[in-house]
Amino acid sequence: MPHFKEHFLLVGLLMIISCIEVETSGEGHYTPPNVARLTGLFPHQPLNQAFLKFFGGSNIRSAINGSYVQLTLNKTSGSGLISRNKYKYGFFNAAIKLPPGYTSGVVVAFYMSNADLFPHNHDEIDFELLGHETGNQWVLQTNIYGNGNTRIGREEKFRLWFDPTEEFHQYSIIWNNHHIVFLIDNIPVREVEHTEVMSTVYPSKPMSVYATIWDGSEWATRGGKYPVNYKYEPFVASFGEMEMEGCIWVSARTVPSCSKSGGQGPTAVDPVEGQDFVKLSQQQKIGMDWARNRFMFYSYCKDPGRYPVLPPECRAR
């Protein structure tokens, strides 16, 4: 019998090792589940045509005929772009490659906001990539604000399953009347459903799309413990493969005009409809569970020290 026990223990150990090998590929890299590819469904928009300089113009450099752009942070300034159009709902994607090396305090962001139009009750949907004090260990933070409710930060933080400085990776946002979904390389990492408890804080007004790099020394790396060290400048982030498919807002109109049909009827506010966008497939739910269970290390819904009374959507789960 001892031999049989040893045999089964050995088989079990080999199965565990096999699972680990399937799960990882290369040094610290993971092989994610297969999911539907939403990126590439819509045409790529040249950044030099779809965007304007937002700040730090001297630190912005176009590449490959305007299809890509390099945004730089140095002692002089950060830099950023803002979309020429504002959008109500849609699918928004950027391929991003992050600065390597020591990047504490550096923030690279791909996000949507209307703070310029609604300074007192703005909406926001954020991808924020936060530099690190060791190696290339960037942290991903997602966040949303709705109708100026900025007293509650709805942050969630993730470690990445790849080195984001080696090559481009896709960061995508689905925003419609049904839900907001954050995706990395087509894998959902977070879904915010438009439920009754979220109705008053659900982003609902037209927003611009932004791509930026800036100095977040006061808060970005371990609460501001590690500020930007400009000994390591310049910090260069590259953006490309931009997709922005949504209803374009024209200020003279009371409702957005849909970029696909130009209509103003009930469907004009949800141009990106269909099964791929109104709900997550079972395959996508499996992918999201994989990402959240392995790589999410902070959620505002699990922070009673910060919120002794948790926000209503957390209590509703």
Tell me which of 6, 21, 128, 156 is the catalytic residue: 128
Q: Is 155 noted as a catalytic residue in this protein? A: no
In whole angstroms, what is the distance from residue 311 CA to residue 317 CA?
11
Residue 313's φ and ψ, nearest 5 degrees, are: -70, -25
Cα 90 from chain centroid (whole Å): 14
Which token pair is 255?
């409702």
Q: Are 237 and 109 in contact (CB under 8 A)?
A: no
Tell me which of 6, 21, 27, 124 is the catalytic residue: 124
Give the position of tokens 């772009």: 81
In whole angstroms, what is the distance from residue 317 CA to residue 312 CA?
9
Residue 210, CA atoms < 13 Å, CB-side half-sphere: 21
β partners of residue 183:
172, 188
Q: Is 128 noted as a catalytic residue in this protein? A: yes
CB-neighbour burial class of residue 192 (10 A; exposed 0-12, middle 13-18, buried 19+):
buried
Catalytic site residues? 124, 128
